[in-house]
Amino acid sequence: MGNVLSVWIYLISNESNELLGLTSAITGLAMTITVLPAGYISDKTQHRYMLRLAAIVGFIGLSFALFASSLEIMFLALLFWGLFQGMNRPSVESIFADSVESGTRSEIYAQVHLVRQLGMAIGPLVNVLLFLFFGDDWSLPVLKSVMVIGIVLSMLSLAFMVFFDDRKSLGSESDKIVEIMDKIQVVGSTIENNPNKRYVIIVVLLLSNLIIGFGAGMTIKFFPIFFRNIYFLEPITVQLIMGGTGILTGIISIYTQRLSLRNGRAPMIFTVQGIATLCLFIIATYPPVFLLVPIFFARGSLMNASQPLSRSILMDVVPKKHRGGVNALQALAWGLFWNVSAAIGGFLIGSDDNFRLCFLITGFIYVLGTLPILLLIPLVSREKNHL
Does the pLDDT of residue 211 top 60, yes or no? Answer: yes
- Residue 182: is its pLDDT beyond 60? no
Q: Give the three-state DSSP class for 126.
A: helix
With pLDDT > 70 as the criterion, what percentage of the chain qualifies? Answer: 86
Segment 33-48 shows an average pLDDT of 78
Residue type, 262: R
Q: Which of 101-110, 199-208, 341-350 has the lowest mean pLDDT?
A: 101-110
- φ, ψ of residue 86 to 5 degrees: the values are -65, -35
CA atoms within 13 A on the CB side of 320: 20
Candidate ranges 4-18, 275-289, 316-330; pick with highest mean pLDDT: 275-289
Q: Are 351 and 17 in contact (CB under 8 A)?
A: yes
How far the first Cα of the chain sits from its last, in Å, is 37
Residue 201: predicted pLDDT? 86
Amino acid at 229: N
| Amino acid in position 112 | V
Q: Tell me the C-alpha distance between 9 and 68, whole Å.
A: 11
Question: What value does the mean pLDDT of the chain take?
Answer: 83
pLDDT, tens digit, 9 for 90 and up, residues 320-329: 666 666 766 6
What's the pLDDT at 180?
Answer: 36
Q: What residue ranges define each of the domains in the chain, with the CATH number in brackets?
A: 2-161+177-376 (1.20.1250.20)
* Range name among 10-14, 181-185, 308-312 with the lowest pLDDT average: 181-185
| Top mean-pLDDT range of 126-130, 207-211, 245-249, 336-340 | 126-130
Per-residue pLDDT at 381: 66
Scanning 159-288, the segments in alpha helix (DSSP H) are: 187-193, 195-219, 223-229, 235-263, 265-283
**Residue 18, pLDDT score:** 84
Query: Is 318 a residue whose pLDDT tops 60?
Result: yes
Region 31-43 average pLDDT: 79
Of 112-121, 288-297, 352-361, where does mean pLDDT reach its minimum? 112-121
Burial 11-36 (b: 16+ CB within 10 A, else e): bbbeebbebbbbbbbbbbbbbbebbb
**Residues whose CB falls within 8 Å of the CB of residue 55, separated by 6 or more in sequence, listed in order:** 88, 158, 159, 161, 162
Cα gap 48→164, rounded to integer Å: 6
